[in-house]
Chain A
Amino acid sequence: MRIRKFLALLLALTAVSAVALAEFDLSKTIAVVSREEGSGTRGAFIELTGVQTKNDEGKDVDNTYIEADFVNGTSLVITTVAQNDYAIGYASLSAVLHNDSVKMVRVNGVDATTEHILDGSYAIARPFNVVTKGELTDKLAIDFMTFVMSREGQEVVASDGLVPVANEETPSYTPAGLSGVLVVGGSTSVAPVMELLGEAYAQLNPDVEVDVQSTGSTAGVTGALDGTYMIGMASRSLKNSEVEAGALGVAIGIDGIAVITSTQNPVEDLSLEQVRQVFTGEITTWGGLSQ
């Protein structure tokens, strides 16, 4: 992991220093950069942009352009896009916000910013949910959720690069001094921030152990319903069938996905439909976008 970060940094530095002098050629092929199968970011992106469709059997079909460049990591997406003037990719907003090597494209005329994600105008954003079976009754779980939604908990959420759901009135947390083991499980995308939350909570409540299991959003909801997990995690909205079965979802933070291009790319604005067409390979040249 450390090697990859180091490499990404090196790549980024070199890409930044190599400023292209040539005019942007609209007849060039769009170099689509995608994450690998199974990535949570890819799952959310294809769902929100319509790259994913349902087939006749009702199964989800991922129509990502097969000639895309597949890379396995957020930082690799960013460096690959930074290096190629004709590339386009997507990455978690938090990773792109403070990165000048790539440019964020407006989607449907809306800038990808935390404000626009909060007011819902930026189209490609997904809630990170925690899921419980009805209202919580377990004291420890209630206290943990109080922490997660408190000012301290939301600071942890923000520190992981998510858009927190807190505002000025959010109360701060006072440790209740409980003890026990809290089992949280589900989405692999939510798990990292949940682990941070668990560590912060265990520091304030030394007798509590928070066990975070990353199994996937669906497994998280199912686990919360059947009692395997006290609290489940899902990086998507709940399905109707899950709500009917008694699942209750609460957003603990919102994750935006930015569409990124090279800083040399003159394209500033894409419609959601154009994003879909690019990532399914229906439009393959930059010139094709203007039609």
Chain B
Amino acid sequence: MRGLFLASACVCILAVLIISAFLFINGLPFFRAYPPVDFVLGTEWAPLRDVFGILPMIVGSFYVTFGALLLGAPIGILTAILMARFAPAPVVRAMKPAVALLAGIPSVVYGFFGVMLLVPLVREHIGGTGKSVLVASVLLAIMILPTIIQTSLAAINAVPQTYYEGSLALGATHESSVFRAIVPAARPGIISGMVLGIGRAIGETMAIIMVAGNNPRMPGDLLKGVRTLTVNVLMEMGYAADLHRESLIATGVVLFLIVMAINYLFSFFNRRRVMQ
């Protein structure tokens, strides 16, 4: 039995190690052929001329992720609070499977929804071609909602009932007890929900490639296209050869480092909060 546990744990850790090793072993040779600074800070992407600058994609990834969080986090957290403390039990019973279903929808389906509904909607009523930062952010916001709702809900439900009762006993209303006593106590959990959401948003590819326009230049206008790091890899992997192919693996390395940095940063802040 003990061996089984050990083996299970080893498979998990081995997978992480092998993936990391694979990525770095395949990605690092590129940096010997191409200066890392030019790669990360270059603003021009022209693989056929051997010009590989991925700053537009780095900025693009952060741009759509930030947009998604800006829209998704308030909606998600408020929904979680509603489900935990305000909504009557039958409503919660209906909402829980709905949220779970939202989490289970494959990303190509989200992409399909985006390209068939959101893109024409934006094109006809707001402007541009529709394939834009705006649509990508809205779509990602919907996609990260279940992550944020489920994690926040668990965190809020884990706050001891005595916090709430104590607050009521001091004369606070139901609303202020929830927002002033319970939600602050659940903050670390809510923040981890947001980090998981960021992780999903920054790593999303299939849905984004269908709605973002994928222009390899610095993003700016909300109604214009954008290319993210993940899209850059998926989009060109099919035809890329030699240095171009290596540059795409190196793009993966950069993405990997960014995700690791975000996770570390948030867990660092979380730990400090808990200790205070």
Contacts and interface: CB of A to CB of B under 8 A. Distances in A.
A71 B214 contact: yes
Contacts of A66: 215-217
A43 B217 CA distance: 20
Contacts of A83: 115-116, 120
A3 interface: yes
Contacts of A7: 108, 112
Contacts of A10: 112
A36 B215 contact: no
A70 B49 contact: no
Nearest to B217: A66
Interface residues of B, number: 32
Interface in A237-275: none
Contacts, number: 79
Contacts of B116: 11, 14, 83
Contact of A37 (B46, B128, B130, B234): B46
Given A60-B48, A216-B241, A84 B112 contact: no
| Secondary structure call for the A interface | mixed
B120 to A, nearest CB: 7
A68 B215 CA distance: 7
A216 B240 CA distance: 10
A87 B131 CA distance: 12
A61 B48 CA distance: 8
Interface string B28-48: 000000000000000001111
A84 B48 contact: no
Interface string A1-12: 001000100110
Q: A43, A72, A83: which has the most chain B beta carbons within 10 Å?
A: A72
What class of interface size applies to chain A in its complex with B? 20 to 34
Nearest to A41: B239
Contacts of B217: 66
Interface string B112-135: 100110001001000011110000
Contacts of B227: 70
Contacts of B175: none
A113 interface: no
Contacts of B241: 38, 188, 215-216, 219
Interface string A46-61: 0000000000000111
A175 to B, nearest CB: 34
Interface of A: 3, 7, 10-11, 14, 29, 31, 36-40, 43, 59-62, 66-72, 83-84, 87, 188, 215-216, 219
Given A83-B116, A84-B129, A84-B130, 10 more contacts: A11-B116, A37-B47, A38-B48, A38-B244, A59-B49, A66-B217, A68-B215, A70-B214, A188-B239, A216-B241
25 contacts: A7-B108, A14-B116, A37-B47, A37-B216, A37-B244, A38-B241, A39-B239, A43-B48, A61-B49, A62-B49, A66-B215, A67-B225, A68-B215, A69-B213, A70-B225, A70-B227, A71-B214, A72-B209, A72-B238, A83-B115, A84-B120, A84-B123, A215-B241, A216-B241, A219-B241
